[in-house]
Amino acid sequence: MADVTLQLLGEPQLCLDGVPLPCRNMGLRLLAILALEGASERLKLADLLWETTTHKALHNLRMTVHHLCLGLGEHAAVLRRRSSFLELDLQRLRVDALSVPEHPDALLSHWRGFLSGQRSRGSEAWLEWAQHTEDRLLGEHIEHLRRAARLHPEPLSGRLRRRARQLSAWLAPAPVPPAPLLLRSSGAESQQAPARGSPPALVGREQVLDAVAAAVERHQMVFLSGVPGMGKTALQAALAPLFGQLVMPVASEVADRAWPYTTIYRALRDLQRGLELGRSLPELPSREVAAHLSRRPEVRRSGDLDPLARPLLAEAFEQPFISWGDDIHHWDDASTLVVARHSPRLLAQSPRAGVINTFRPGEVSAGCRRSILRCIDQGRGVIIPLPPLTLEEVAAVGERFLPGLTDAQVGQLHGYAGGIPGLLVPVLQEAVRRGGLPERLSLGAAEEARLHLGLTLLGAAELDVLRLLALSDGEPLEVDLLSGVLGWPRRSVVGALEGLYQSGAVVGHAVHPPALRQVVLFHAPPPILADLAARLRAARAPAL
């Protein structure tokens, strides 16, 4: 009997005794679904391949089956056709994706991407199914290799490709060149002692980098969330060598919110220049972008930016690059909508591009929030928060600047900076300049000015609540107590507290970080601070 093989690993094709048979892209997709899912209803297949169950979609399915049978000729019986479902005869058809490779080199075909040649024009439903199937097949292969190597069983992480590379390198006889040292954990020893007072390597961000890399490999948009100083921008330098691709920053400014399409126009212009995609868009002031776009014929005909943005983004996403959108909370709502509408779909079709954005949770506009949630609801985006440094990680950073810090000094540093690298490093740099860590820690002028500037962005209600929390120094204050001291209704107090929690200025019952409490008390007008302190004492005093 002739060997009819459906090849899904590597370049997909249908072969008869090793000779490729004529088979269109949609036919290969149909065969892939039937091979891996088993008997499937026609309505389900039409919905998966054409994202609809209309009469036209069912007609397309019938025509796809007809052309498949013509290509198979006398072997058309491998496709069992029923009135309501289709099925493959796996006794007559061999599917290479279902066979487990006996050698790690077989995983090389996976690295090219499951059904890589089928991604370019697939529907959203098809791309989601292909990605899910790819992960499942890789997981099965990795489990097989683990058993073959008699490795101790352990739970698989989400980064299936990375685990496959690690396991394959472990089993392969040829030595693998070591990867560049990107991270320095608290227990790692560097080969060469760094210069005292030099900027530290990334500490405590190993899990964040792993999560970012996993999301990029899943073709998801990444949204890094963190308060100012948490190290969002510092990750950009570490990601470039991690992916080995060009990192294209997308600049943003506070004034961008006032001018529609300013950010996406700047991003398209920078992508054209950085990736050499042809004639570049002209450089324009923010206030002139909307007027310039309205004069372009494609924009004028449709009434929006899609006809201009779609082909430029599609061309860009064919290139190997990482788009890094820093501080997208500054973006205008029209730009975030364009990105949310097109980038997830294009990213799912691109095996070589990635999109990483950073934002501050307390400063996101309503439009930006809707765009982020839209990507997440579609399964095309993931939010990765940047946590503060732990006590052990603060000790690792402090050792880089001041070797021999005591546990008490490390605890003092951790408590003062709240585990925020952007506050911790300047304090240590000042300590190096003075020759040691002072008993009373203080911020440098630049960091203090930045925190004070952040206070000016708060509303009057949020600022008054923050001053009361600073006066209480971590002692719990109930909503009713705050309402009585300020003379406000409970709803106003709750709204102010929610804003402070979202911005990261309050954690638990205390101002965060403690260095911010120092700035709040120092910059509060003395009469206002004295009045709030007197009211707080009176509210706490027991009734006579």
How far is residue 159's CA from residue 83's CA, in Å, rounded to a whole number?
41
Number of helices (H), then strands (E), belonging to the chain: the values are 23, 14
Is the pTM here over 0.85, yes or no? no
Q: What is the predicted pLDDT for the residue at 156?
A: 36
pLDDT above 70 covers what percent of the chain? 75
Q: What is the predicted pLDDT for the residue at 466?
A: 92
Domain limits, CATH 3.40.50.300, in the chain: 205-298+305-385
- Cα 278 to the center of its chain, rounded Å: 29
Residue 6 three-state SS: strand
Confidence of residue 139 (pLDDT cuts 50, 70, 90): low
Residue 173 three-state SS: coil
Tens digit of pLDDT for each residue in 466-522?
999 999 877 888 888 899 989 999 888 998 898 888 788 888 888 888 888 888 988
Identify residue 62 by its one-letter amino acid code. R
Outline where DSSP puts E strands in 228-376. 246-250, 321-325, 353-359
Q: Using the predicted structure, report yes or no on whether residue 176 has a pLDDT greater than 50.
A: no
Long-range interactions of 452-460: CB distance < 8 A, separation 24+ = 452/519, 452/523, 454/228, 454/505, 455/519, 455/520, 455/523, 457/363, 458/499, 458/500, 458/503, 458/505, 459/496, 459/499
Confidence of residue 223 (pLDDT cuts 50, 70, 90): very high
Its CATH class, for the domain covering 205-298+305-385, is alpha beta
Phi, psi of 42 (to 5 degrees): -65, -40
Q: Strand pairing partners for 86?
A: 40, 81
Long-range interactions of 100-103: CB distance < 8 A, separation 24+ = 100/140, 100/141, 100/144, 101/141, 101/144, 102/148
Tens digit of pLDDT for each residue in 439-458?
888 776 767 777 877 787 78
Cβ(424)–Cβ(402) under 8 Å? Answer: no
